[in-house]
Structure 1
Amino acid sequence: MRISVLALDGVFDTGLSVTLDAFSAANKLSAAAMGGVPRFDVTLVGVRKRVRSAHGLAVPVQPVAPDAKPDWVIVPALLTLSAQELMESFERPDVAQAMARLLEWQAGGARVGASCVGTFILAEAGLLDHREATTNWALAPFFRQRYPHVQLNESRMLVPSDIGVTAGAAMGHLDLALWLIRSASPELASLVSRYLLADIRSSQAPYIIPNHLAQADPLIQRFEQWARKNLKSGFSLQDAAKALATSSRSLQRRCQEVLGKSPLAYFQDLRVEHAQSLLRSGKLDLERIAAEVGYGDGATLRSLLRQRLGRGVRELRADLL
């Protein structure tokens, strides 16, 4: 498999390194432990002759060859922490050149992959329109509003599509690399996972901080504050809208536009977050925790936790030890 890793100035050091390290480990293990030849021909390329990482380290890129025909092109994330920084990066000539090159490669049959903020490069180029995708959960509200034609689901860690694959925040770079290795050889991917003490995660949901998402919009922020005060008493759309001096329809529409979910779904996110916090304290049993987050019994809370986090109460308590 021929893979071009496209590095831009300000690339996220860890994301780039873990991507290269995963494929390097796969090649070495394929040759040594499995008696085969290296599976991946990885080339680190750039649209500029000189590229530096976010920490100022020189990245040894090769120039993009005009006749290059990779099977996959991977775009590691830029180290940007805000929507404003992302907007500024889109104005850079090297980013524009990279997007043009991605469109050429994809039109020529290459598949494309990106993790974290790298997914914004694919979306800005129009490659994700009318396709399912995921991204850095912390910037999901901005992504959703800027790219309304992308079917975003930031709770997922990996989302394959017909043009390639997108992965979630930060260490999602490793999940993406392992996914590609697994597509070539499940046995090799298992071996790499064991050597790196890592495995593909199916969801970002356990890592999402609802309060961070709410800060993307004033109305949602006020709704979040109201919801936290009313977790025990339960959810009422009409009561929430009245308290926020808006209509039920407006609140529903704004939640969908910013968060990609209904007010009730976000309210349940806050219940899950608070329940996890109470589980972490270890001071309350499940029935008491259920009452604290507005449920009449522990069974309902168990079901919600497993539905949202993919794990049961016993597994969650074990994770917190």
Structure 2
Amino acid sequence: MRIYILALEGVFDLGLAAFMDVLGTASELAGEDPTKRMLDVTIVGVRPEVHTGQRLSVPVHLAAELPQPDLVLVPALSSKMPEGLTRALEQPDVGEAGQWLRCWSQAGATIAAACTGTFVVAEAGLLNGHSATTSWWLSAFFRHRYPLVILDEERMLVCSDPFVTAGAAMAHFDLGLHVVSRQSPTLAALCARYLLIETRPSQAAFIIPDHIAHTDPIVQRFEQWARDHLESGFSAAAAAATIGVSERTLVRRIQQVLGKSPLAWFQDLRVDYAVHLLQTTDSSVEQIASRVGYADGTTLRTLLRRKLGQGIRELRQRATHVAVL
């Protein structure tokens, strides 16, 4: 399987290293086993010289001199916030990379990207009409810039053939393992054990809701109203009246910025506050359920498991582990 890792100027050091280390470890573990096809990995670029975000020089092969790949991996750019990322995406090498990505894709290659690398693929127009994920804190910016992409920032990995996208920084490992699993699920599982990589199907447990809300003044005001009414319940009409917009405007703006309804966002905030109480108080599940507006603890347990993929014990243990560190 011919794999290209497309490294652009300012490539995120960890992302590039994660791809190389996962694929390299998989190749070592596969050894001479004839049932596992070799992963032929090459770092490619559109310029003869590439530097990482930490200014390390990366040797690359020019894309123009290489044959058609089976799969192309796009690691993140080192820019982590909208302003810097906007400048990075305006660089000429990103435009040239987009041309190669479109060419490779049209010839049948799978295109995969993680973290802000998803912006490079979206910038090329390849994700229009497809489902995708990206770094959770850039979700509002992504939606604004690429409205034709169906974004789900809560997922860690989204497959929408022939494209695969992964979430924030450490999702490079998840994407690397996904590539290995396409060749051999057994090898991918072994590689994960060697590298101590845990399965994380969702970014939801890491998302900070008010961080995203602060990208838009109406959404920010709704978020404050919602936090004041978590226990009493949701009313779109009451929320709109309090923050000074029409109900229709509220629904439209929440959908544009967050990709969901005001009620769905309200439920997210309930989950966020419930997790906060679980990790910072000794209150019972029943008490916490009441404080976030649920009738009983069973409902809260079910919601947390469905939303975060974790139960009460796991959430509280995680808080204890972080406190010890």
Equivalent residues of 2:230, 2:293 under 8 A apart: yes
Question: How far apart are 1:66 and its partner, in Å?
Answer: 3.6
The aligned residue for residue 316 of structure 2 is: 317
% of aligned pairs identical? 52
Write the letter of the residue equivalent to 2:283: L
The aligned residue for residue 177 of structure 2 is: 178
TM-score using structure 2 length: 0.95
- Structural mapping, 1:75-154, within 5 Å: 75-154=74-153
The aligned residue for residue 6 of structure 1 is: 6
Specify the SS of the correspondent of 1:320.
Answer: helix
Question: How far apart are 1:12 and its partner, in Å?
Answer: 0.5
CA gap of 1:246–1:192, structure 2 versus 1, over 3 A, is same
CA gap of 1:129–1:143, structure 2 versus 1, over 3 A, is same
The aligned residue for residue 26 of structure 2 is: 26
2:188 is the alignment partner of 1:189: yes
Write the letter of the residue equivalent to 1:110: A
Instruction: Give CA deviations for 1:16-48 in whole Å, capped at 9, x if unaligned.
Output: 10110000000000007x576662000011111
Specify the SS of the correspondent of 2:67.
Answer: coil
Write the letter of the residue equivalent to 2:18: V
Write the letter of the residue equivalent to 1:12: F
The aligned residue for residue 277 of structure 2 is: 278
Question: How far apart are 1:312 and its partner, in Å?
Answer: 2.1
Q: Distance in 1 between matches of 2:35 and 2:29?
A: 9
Instruction: Give CA deviations for 1:154-197 in whole Å, capped at 9, x if unaligned.
Output: 11111111222011111111110000101110010010000000
Equivalent residues of 1:26, 1:38 under 8 A apart: no
Equivalent residues of 2:36, 2:184 under 8 A apart: no
Unaligned runs of 5+ in 1: none
The aligned residue for residue 323 of structure 2 is: none
CA gap of 1:313–1:260, structure 2 versus 1, over 3 A, is same
* Structure 1 moving runs of 4+ over 4 Å: 34-38
Instruction: Give CA deviations for 1:119-166 in whole Å, capped at 9, x if unaligned.
Output: 011111010011111111110011112111111111111111122201
Q: Distance in 1 between matches of 2:230 and 2:19?
A: 41
2:166 is the alignment partner of 1:167: yes
Q: Distance in 1 between matches of 2:144 and 2:180?
A: 33
Q: Distance in 2 between matches of 1:185 and 1:235?
A: 47
The aligned residue for residue 45 of structure 1 is: 44
TM-score using structure 1 length: 0.96
Q: Distance in 2 between matches of 1:223 and 1:151?
A: 23
Write the letter of the residue equivalent to 1:287: E
The aligned residue for residue 72 of structure 1 is: 71
The aligned residue for residue 257 of structure 1 is: 256
Equivalent residues of 2:205, 2:308 under 8 A apart: yes
Unaligned runs of 5+ in 2: 321-325
When the two chains are superposed, the root-mean-square deviation of aligned CA atoms in Å is: 1.5
